[in-house]
Structure 1
Amino acid sequence: MTTQPDLLYSEEEEALRAAVRDLLTDRCAPASVIARTESDAPHDVSLWKALTEGMGLAGLLVPEEHGGQGATHREVAVVLEELGRAVAPVPYLASAVVATEAVLACGADDLLSRLAEATAIGALAVGLHTAPGAAFKRVRLEGGTLHGEVTGIADAAVADVLLVPADDGGLYAVDASAATVVPQVSLDLTRPVATVVLDGAAGTRLGEAAPAVRRGLRAGAGLLASEQLGLAEWALTETVRYLKERKQFNRPVGGFQALKHRLAQLWLEVVNLRAAARAAADALATGTDTAVTVAVAQAYAGPVAVHAAEEALQLHAGIGMTWEHPIHLYLKRAKADSIAYGTAGAHRENLAELVDLQAP
């Protein structure tokens, strides 16, 4: 008999949410995020340290014997919901999820402990657009050193360790100081991407690249849906709040029926997204129907998050078009997330193959 997953939040998960939200309320105000995007240091390193060294969140997926918390993807999903609500400029998804999962697949205990204890930030040197199971670029291994470049690497600028796939089939840990990291123009100012250039860099072979990359990208795609959920919930909540306060013709704008219909439709989409995101987190935690559930979540999450941010921008009217209002950060994050770890179309195609439902 198949046990149905429990998608409700546990008391522990709600307590974790409250703690993370309190921290982000104090340390990640919209104005400060906007100011940081205008600087040459878009990543908030102090916030990262508060989340990791202060709360131990970098090691949620790492077993306790390696310095982690021994938690599951469900707890990580809650953290990502809150980070999405704040468009927090920290490398949590890149390091605590994708890089950590890749290292878990290789069994590299020393590096795993460094990631769990946040003494190192990791980044998988595979383009952010790459879907789980898709082909990815590998650098050349010549004379025992690595040569080549890879583009679109999320949070590479702040990484201490780069996990680099090579053409011999291995995944190598490379000290970031041995690579040249060139920033790329990124739509999402809160999650910068970069080109990583290797010219004779030394690396430590961790294990086979293919299964490690696949595991890292699948976890990234599945838990990205929780970030997109947090973003969409913020957009909906803030839009409802604004429309209750904004008056036109001496009555709240939110009282107009046409706007009520749009918000009701958006609410339904966000509720469905919550179910898909929670299902993906639970599937990753239990290992049950993981590929199908992650594909379903990402086939749905991207369009909903973009729609929520677009509605927020439009329904905030003139104020929403200003740089001072944070909506543009959410729209850019939503658009960038919609192609991260595979587009919705790519996940639908993958889903069709997984359930043997091919197009005529």
Structure 2
Amino acid sequence: MSTPETISAEDRAALAESIRDVLRRRSDSAAVRAATRTEGRIDRPLWETLCTEIGVAALAVPEEFDGAGATLAETALAVEEVGGTLSPVPVFSSAVLAVGAVLAAGDDEASARLLPDLASGEKIGGLCWAGNPGWTAPGVTAEAGLLRGTAEYVLDGDSADVFLVIAGRPDNPDAHTLHEVDAHAEGVTVTPLPVLDPTRALARVTFDEVPATTIASAPDIAERIRTLAWAMLSAEQVGGAARALALTVEYTSARKQFGRTLASFQALKHAMADMYVKVEAMRSMSAAAIDALVTGRDDAAELAAAAHVYCSENYMAVTGEAIQLHGGIGITWEHDIGLYFKRAQADAQLFGQPHDALARVVV
């Protein structure tokens, strides 16, 4: 594969602003809530716009596979912006996990077959991985070219066109392989799951003796994808926490009590200052993890785990404090701050809980 193109700081800022502008115009609160009630629970028109006008899904795809030839660091910008609006588009499931799984495998034949359609947004990819206990072991096994079992918590699984499946072997569950399956193939059953966070669709995907195409990959493919997932998830958490803080500042600056705006009370100023410090520390931690991932540093896995722990805990802390500062309206369905609180809780459970990641760091 070709070497990813180096993007200047000015170009990165312009990219982020372009994404932000589309989301401002096309993904306000009403649009987000409406999309969660549609079939597939994603905003397909918005996804098409992000792919065709900006090329969000193509950012990390090498040029030889019809991509933009940038890196996952540029995709992280999109993830952060989408995390700030909670827009229900498959940027994480397809542009991060599916594309990232193919890139991590390093199989040129699979890349040529899969990446062009994923880069254009013509197809949506989904990663099947977790078993019933979670991400400690795959829920699907592969034997003689057939997949059987059930993958839980598949992001945007009910909208996917192709599944990338991390599978174990019946004789050695710790040996992981990567497979490609048409999401509409016979024997594949997709069941939408009820969710705490309505802005992120999850599904259960069951495979009943389904023929699959094996993608050549290293034995540690699952750990590589976990590192990718935790690092990129931290970018989403930064975007969400920053927006939760902005909503809180906006509300307390407009709401009055005893003839004064809430934001003028010293105790509330201190609380929001603490929230700001948490958000900026999250930003630094996330940036370090993503840089280590992109540059291939030896400590990338440890930094990704640290980012997952720190950003998960502080996203929950920031949104929890935001709920308190909003008062009674903060716990109503009508106000958006509750959506960020739910996303924070849900994100902390993805790809392994923070205490699992902490064990990896300290060991």
How many residues are matched?
342
User: RMSD of the TM alignment (CA)?
Assistant: 1.9
Distance in 1 separating the partners of 2:318 and 2:205: 33
Mapping of residues 274-289 of structure 1, within 5 Å:
274-288=283-297, 289=299
Q: What TM-score, normalized by structure 2, do the two folds share?
A: 0.89
Deviations 1:79-115 (A, max 9, x none): 1110011001011111111111211133112112222
**Candidates 335, 339, 345, aligned match of 1:335:** 345
Distance 2:319 2:38 in 1: 24
Partner of 1:18: 17
Q: Distance in 2 between matches of 1:53 and 1:127?
A: 31
Partners of 1:84 and 1:227 within 8 A in 2: yes
The secondary structure found in structure 2 opposite 1:156 is coil
| TM-score where L is the length of structure 1 | 0.90
Secondary structure of the 1:166 match is strand
* CA distance in 2: counterparts of 1:218 and 1:339, whole angstroms: 15
Aligned partner of 1:357 in structure 2 is none
Per the TM alignment, residue 328 of structure 1 is displaced from its structure 2 partner at its CA by: 1.8
Alignment partner of 1:115 out of 98, 115, 118: 118
Distance (whole Å) between structure 2 residues aligned to residue 127 and residue 82 of structure 1: 26
Q: Matches of 1:41 and 1:98 in 2, distance apart?
A: 18
Aligned-pair CA distance for 1:130: 5.3
Cα distance in 1 for residues equivalent to 2:195 and 2:157:
13
SS at match of 2:200: coil
Partner SS for 1:320: helix
If each structure's strand is expressed as a fraction of its own residues, which one has the higher value? 2
Aligned-partner Cα distance in 1 for 2:167–2:34: 38
What is the rounded CA distance, in whole Å, between the counterparts of 1:197 and 1:245 in structure 2? 50
Alignment of structure 1 residues 99-178 onto 2, 5 Å = 99-106=98-105, 107=107, 108-109=110-111, 110-127=113-130, 134-141=136-143, 144-168=145-169, 169-178=176-185
Matches of 2:261 and 2:285 in 1, distance apart? Answer: 33
Question: Which residues of 2 match residues 230-309 of structure 1 at below 5 A?
Answer: 230-288=239-297, 289-309=299-319
Distance (Å, rounded) in 1 between the aligned partners of 2:361 and 2:124? 32
Name the residue aligned to 2:223: 214
Report how far residue 158 of structure 1 moved.
0.7
Secondary structure of the structure 1 residue equivalent to 2:140: coil
For 1:325, the equivalent position in structure 2 comes to: 335
Please give the per-residue CA displacement for 1:285-343, whole angstroms capped at 9, x wherever unaligned: 11122112112211100011111112222211232222221122111111100111222
Report the AA paired with residue 312 of structure 2.
G
1:137 partner letter: G
Q: Which moved more, 1:242-251 or 1:113-122?
A: 113-122
The structure-2 alpha-carbon separation of the partners of 1:82 and 1:207, relative to structure 1 and needing over 3 Å to count, comes to: same
Once the two structures are TM-superposed, the CA of residue 246 in structure 1 deviates from its matched residue by 0.6
List runs of 5+ in structure 1 lacking aligned partners: 1-8, 354-360
Q: Matched residues in 2 for 1:292 and 1:145: separation?
A: 34
**Unaligned stretches of 5+ in structure 2?**
1-7, 170-175
The Cα of 1:140 is off from its aligned counterpart by 4.2
- Whether the 8 Å contact between 2:140 and 2:147 is mirrored in structure 1 is no
CA distance in 1, matches of 2:147, 2:306: 37
Overall identity of the aligned pairs, in %: 40
- Residue 72 of structure 1 corresponds to 71
